[in-house]
Structure 1
Amino acid sequence: MDRRELGEFLRSRRERITPADVGLPAGARRRTPGLRREEAAQLAFISTEYYTRLEQARAPRPSREVLAGLARALRLSDAERDHLHHLAGAPPGPPSGPSREVRQSILDLLHRLPQAAALVMSATYEVIAWNDLAAALMEDFSALSRRDRNLVRRVFLGPHPQDRRLYGLSDSDAFARTAARHLRATAARYPDDPEVAELVHELLSGSREFAELWASHDVCAEPTLCKTLQHPLVGPITVDCDVLDITDRDQRVVIYTAAPGSPAEEALRLLSVVGTQRLDVPG
C-alpha cells in the first residue's frame, strides 16, 4: 500500500468535483476547490476522521467496501477505480455497483445522430448522457441534479405520481412496470452496492405501486417499439424507440426516431432548432 500516493490521489479527485456535481449546495465562504473532506466522507459512508487520515497518509489499509464507497463518492472512472485499488494494495475485482462512465465512442455516437433523440441510461435508470434533441424532446437534463435524472425515481416518486406523465409519455404506466422489473434484476446483479439498495428502499417506502410490482418478482419486460410523447410546444409526437445494450458497462442507449415524412419528423426538426429555450406556451 502506497499511503502517500493514495492520499494525494484522493485529494486530487476530491478537489475536481464541485458540490453541484453531487447535488450539494455550494454554500457561502467555501474555500476548498471542490468538495470538503467531510462531504466526501459523507458520500462514501465513512467518518470524516477516517477520510482525513487517508488523505494524510496516516490510515491503515482500507477495506474493499471503503474503496468502493470512495470510488462512488469521488465519481471515479473505471480506470481510476482500478488505480485506487492498486494504490491501496487491493487489486480490483468486479465493480460492486453499476458503471456511470460512458465510453467516448458512445458519446460521439449520440452527437452524430442530429435527427434522433438519444440518451444513455445506467442500470438504475439514471440518465448519464444525452444529445441536444433528447433534451429538447424530454427535458434539459443538464439543469437537473443527478438524483432528479433518475427516471425510475421520477416515475414513481415524482411531484404528481397519481397523474403520471413522465415527459408526456402516453405509456408511462407501462414504462413504470418495465422499470420496476429491470431494477429488480439490477439489484440482484449488484447486491452489495449501497446506492442501489438505497434507491430500492426509497421506492418501496414511497410508492405502494412499486412495492406491489416488486413483490411480483417479475424480471422480464416486453420491449416498447413505439412511444407517443405530448410535448408542450409541438403537441403529440409518435416516435420509434430502439434500445441498444452496452453489456460491458451494463448501460442502455435509447434512440427515438420518427418515420420519414411524418408529422413527427417535422416536429423533431422544429425541436432541433428550438432546443431547450424557455418559451411561452399556451396552457
Structure 2
Amino acid sequence: MDRRELADFLRSRRERITPADVGLPAGPRRRTPGLRREEAAQLAFISTEYYTRLEQARGPRPSREVLAGLARALRLSDAERDHLHHLAGAPPAPAAGPSREVRQSILDLIRRLPQAAALVLSATYEVIAWNDLAAALMEDFSALPRRDRNLVRRAFLGPRPTGSRLYGLSDADTEAFARSSAQHLRATAARYPDDPGVAALVSELLAGSEEFARLWASHDVCAEPTLCKTLRHPMVGRVTVSCDVLDLADRDQRVVIYTAAPGSPSDEALRLLSVVGTQRMDVPG
C-alpha cells in the first residue's frame, strides 16, 4: 500500500468534483475546490474520520468494499478505479462478466459511417450496438429480443433470418464464422469462468448443436480473421464486403465494419440500402 500516493490521488479526485456534480448544494463560505472531506466520506458510506486519515496518509489498508465506495463517490473512470486499487495494495478483481456498455464515442463513431455497415459485439457475440446500414444489410436488431441478438446462438441454433444460412452468407463464410465464433467463445469462457451467462450460453450450444460440440472439443482459441464476406440480401441480392474488426480491449468488445469496394456493384447495393433502410419494398397485391 502506497499511503502517500493514495492520499494525493484521493485529494486530487475529490477536488475536481463540484457539489453540483453529485447533487449537493454549494452553500456559503466554500473555501476549498471540489467536495469537502465530509461530503466525500458521506458519498462513500464511510466515516469522515476514516476518510481524513486516508487523505493524511495515516489510514489502514481499505477493504475492497471501501474502495468500491470511494470509486463511486469520486466518480472514477475504469482506469482510475484500477489505479486506486493498486495504490491501496489490492489489485482489482477481474470483471465478473462481459461488458455490454458501449462507450458514447464508439456509438458516435459507427453512426458517422454512412457508407459502412458497423456493429459492436460483446465478448459473447451479442450485438450491443449498430448503425442504420448494418440494420438494413443484416437485420433490424431493434426489433429483436436480446436473446436473438446473439450471433453465435443464431449461427448454431437459429432462428436464421434467411433460410439455412446466417444473413445469406456463403457456405464457406458460414463455416468460417462457426469456427471463429466457437474459438472466440472458448477464450471468453476462460476469461469469465464465474459468469453464469457465459456458462449458460456454452451449455446451451453444447446441448443443441453437434457442430458446436465438435468445434468446442478441439480446444482451439486462435481464430483466423475473415477479411471478406459475401451476403445475399433479399432486396439487393449478392453483396461482397470487406470485414474489418477493431478490438476495444478496455471493454472486451469488437467493432465490426463492413465496406464495399468503391464503384463496385456491392457498393451500389449498400448505397441503395442506406437510402431504403429496413423498410420492405414489397408491393401489396
2:189 maps to amino acid: A
Change (3 A) 1:160 1:112: closer
Cross-structure match for 1:261 = 263
| 1:118, distance to aligned residue in structure 2 (A) | 0.2
Q: CA RMSD in A?
A: 2.4
Cross-structure match for 1:154 = 154
1:110 maps to amino acid: I
| 1:211, distance to aligned residue in structure 2 (A) | 0.4
Cross-structure match for 1:166 = 166
SS at match of 1:248: coil
For 2:281 and 2:143, the matched residues in 1 are separated by 16
SS at match of 1:221: coil
Cross-structure match for 2:206 = 204
User: Normalising to structure 2: TM-score of the pair?
Assistant: 0.65
For 2:156 and 2:265, the matched residues in 1 are separated by 31
For 1:160 and 1:134, the matched residues in 2 are separated by 16
Unaligned runs of 5+ in 1: 1-63, 65-77, 83-90
| 1:159, distance to aligned residue in structure 2 (A) | 3.3
| 1:169, distance to aligned residue in structure 2 (A) | 1.3
Cross-structure match for 1:279 = 281
Cross-structure match for 2:195 = 193
Change (3 A) 1:92 1:146: farther
Cross-structure match for 1:126 = 126
Cross-structure match for 2:231 = 229
Determine whether 1:177 maps to 2:179: yes
Cross-structure match for 2:35 = none
1:166 maps to amino acid: L
SS at match of 1:267: helix
| 1:172, distance to aligned residue in structure 2 (A) | 1.1
SS at match of 1:254: strand
1:178 maps to amino acid: S
Within-5 A mapping of 1:133-152: 133-152=133-152
Q: Could you list the per-position Cα deviations for residues 208-236 of structure 1 after superposition, in whole angstroms to 9, with x for gaps in the alignment?
A: 11001000101111100000000000000
Q: Could you list the per-position Cα deviations for residues 94-121 of structure 1 after superposition, in whole angstroms to 9, with x for gaps in the alignment?
A: 3110000000000000011000000000
Q: Is the 8 A contact 1:155 1:164 kept in 2?
A: no
Unaligned runs of 5+ in 2: 1-64, 66-76, 82-90
For 1:240 and 1:157, the matched residues in 2 are separated by 26
SS at match of 1:269: helix
Cross-structure match for 2:46 = none
Q: Is the 8 A contact 2:160 2:166 kept in 1?
A: no
1:147 maps to amino acid: R
SS at match of 1:97: coil
Change (3 A) 1:160 1:242: closer
Q: Is the 8 A contact 2:119 2:256 kept in 1?
A: yes
Within-5 A mapping of 1:66-145: 93-145=93-145
For 1:160 and 1:278, the matched residues in 2 are separated by 18
| 1:92, distance to aligned residue in structure 2 (A) | 6.8
SS at match of 2:105: helix
For 1:102 and 1:160, the matched residues in 2 are separated by 26
User: Normalising to structure 1: TM-score of the pair?
Assistant: 0.66
2:228 maps to amino acid: C
SS at match of 1:185: helix
Change (3 A) 1:93 1:160: closer
| 1:160, distance to aligned residue in structure 2 (A) | 6.4
| 1:279, distance to aligned residue in structure 2 (A) | 2.8
SS at match of 2:245: strand
SS at match of 2:242: strand
For 2:244 and 2:150, the matched residues in 1 are separated by 19
For 2:205 and 2:167, the matched residues in 1 are separated by 19
SS at match of 1:114: coil
Change (3 A) 1:269 1:173: same
For these two proteins, the number of residue pairs brought into alignment is 198
SS at match of 1:245: strand
Q: Is the 8 A contact 1:119 1:253 kept in 2?
A: yes
| 1:280, distance to aligned residue in structure 2 (A) | 2.0
**Rg larger for:** 2
